[in-house]
A and B are shown apart, each in its own frame.
Chain A
Amino acid sequence: MAETSAPRPVHWLPARVADLREETSTTRTVVFDVPDWPGHVAGQHVDVRLTAEDGYQAERSYSIASSPDGQRVELTIQRVPDGELSTYMVGEMRVGDEAELRGPVGGWFVWHPEDSDPVLLVAGGSGLVPLMAMVRERARAGNGAPFSLLYSVRSPEVVLYADELAHRARDGDGLNISLLYSDSAPEGTARPVGRIRPDDLAATGLPHGSAARAYVCGPTAFVEAVAGLLADHGYDPSNVRTERFGPTGG
């Protein structure tokens, strides 16, 4: 089925910071209020443009973390070394500050709340952000489609939305969440520490050759590795939707 969205002009829209939430020591959620926001679909992203007083501009792309909610757009930003926008947005930005957003964009890496098919979400580090929008949208819409989330993360200190993931997993209702620690894990974790492996896919219970749609997001190397694992697990490539963040994942 082709995914389409109505064509409409996409321009830079003024946005103001309405709230800030520290997620981890290097990651922060910035809540923007965007008058004229046309709404968005879970999985889409925006381009953010910042302008210095002398007119210098820089822009970067960020996935939307929030499910659709009027004029409100939440972005979860990870600070990357020498990151021109992330250093400012995670370290300096304050409530009331202004920026410009262009979007939402993306018609393929999206999940609509009308969908009832089973879904596999595979996140590498900050690649969790657009997948979290899907998890949140599923809850907001009261959609019971079976969702399996595999979240590959270095260590407990850098887990995004840790409390929220824990309480959503407890609520059950068809959402399964597995944290796959690659460098260090909490005491007593059953799964041996390491990068995502074929066993992790098998543990989701999704059968070989599953028709579940998969969304994979994270650094390019992670996405390529997971695409390979999914192919080995019998996934049809047309059922695998990918979004690559580049080498640093930021």
Chain B
Amino acid sequence: MGVVTRGFVGRRDPAAANLPPGQYLTPDFPVLSAGPTPQIPLEQWRFTVTDEAGAERGWGWQEFLDLPSEQPTVDIHCVTKWSKLGTHWQGVSLDTLLGPVQTQAGYALVRSYGGYSTNLPLADLRGGKAWIAYRYDGGDLPAEHGGPARLLVPHLYFWKSAKWVRGIELRTEDTPGFWETMGYHSYGDPWRDQRYAGD
């Protein structure tokens, strides 16, 4: 190893336990984005599930809030190495949104206002593992953290939890999203350190 800086520890909690490899606990909630915060008036907001044949099922904001919701408490892990444990959210489970959908598709492409996208297997959105979240830590989800609503899929690196979500396309083939076309891992399991393609 080359140069070592005496006494430098960085923004890390030395007592942190049970984190995925290469992760560090953070007390704050960093704001990371690929562009300016989209401003989406609630009366124009829509969330749409599109199946592989192009059939759509969508909800406006008030309809969405009327759906049954859950209040998951989850750990989140960002590929830039910070982790946050025990975060509190409220949102609609993807099981509720996908329940009535008949599909042969094995994959999903998630799209956001502002142009961001990410991909994951459809199975990773089902079985109580994912939500469209609109409240965080007891308040409305702030715009800088993805409000009005974001995808929350905490078992994968947090770049998969697309902010400002506007829809999910069900696909028979896996279609890489914004970071997945730029060297990041297509699946992204933090417990197997799957940060980059080929990991």
Contact = CB atoms under 8 A, between A and B. Distances in A.
A183 interface: no
B9 interface: yes
A51 B3 contact: yes
Contacts of B27: 82
Interface of B: 1-12, 24, 27-28
Interface stretch (A65-73, A92-100, A148-156): A92-100
Contacts of B2: 14, 51, 100
Interface in A23-71: 50-53, 55-56, 58
A58 B6 CA distance: 14
Nearest to B30: A82
A51 B11 contact: no
Interface in A95-125: 97-100
DSSP majority for the B interface? loop
Contact of A51 (B4, B12, B24, B28): B4
Contacts of B1: 51, 55
Nearest to B31: A247
Nearest to A97: B6
Q: Which 7 A-B pairs have the closest CB atoms?
A: A50-B5, A84-B11, A50-B8, A98-B3, A52-B8, A14-B3, A100-B3
A56 B28 contact: no
A98 B12 contact: no
A82 B4 contact: no
A21 to B, nearest CB: 19
A161 interface: no
Interface residues of A, number: 18
Contacts of B7: 88, 92-94, 97
Contacts of B3: 14, 51, 98-100
B4 A58 contact: no
Contacts of B5: 50-52, 88, 97-99
Most chain A CB within 10 A, of B3, B8, B12, B27, is at B8
Nearest to B12: A56
B11 A52 contact: no
Given A98-B3, A98-B6, 5 more contacts: A14-B2, A92-B7, A93-B7, A94-B7, A99-B5
Contacts of A50: 5, 8, 10
A88 B5 CA distance: 10
A246 to B, nearest CB: 11
B28 A88 contact: no
Contacts of B4: 51-53, 98
B3 to A, nearest CB: 5
Most chain B CB within 10 A, of A50, A84, A99, is at A50
A37 B5 CA distance: 19
A57 to B, nearest CB: 8
A51 B28 CA distance: 22
A100 B11 CA distance: 19
A52 B7 CA distance: 7
Contacts of A82: 11, 27-28
Contacts of B11: 58, 82, 84
Contacts of B10: 50, 52, 56, 58, 84, 88
Contacts of A51: 1-5, 8
A99 B7 CA distance: 11
B64 to A, nearest CB: 31
Nearest to A52: B8
Contacts of A94: 6-7
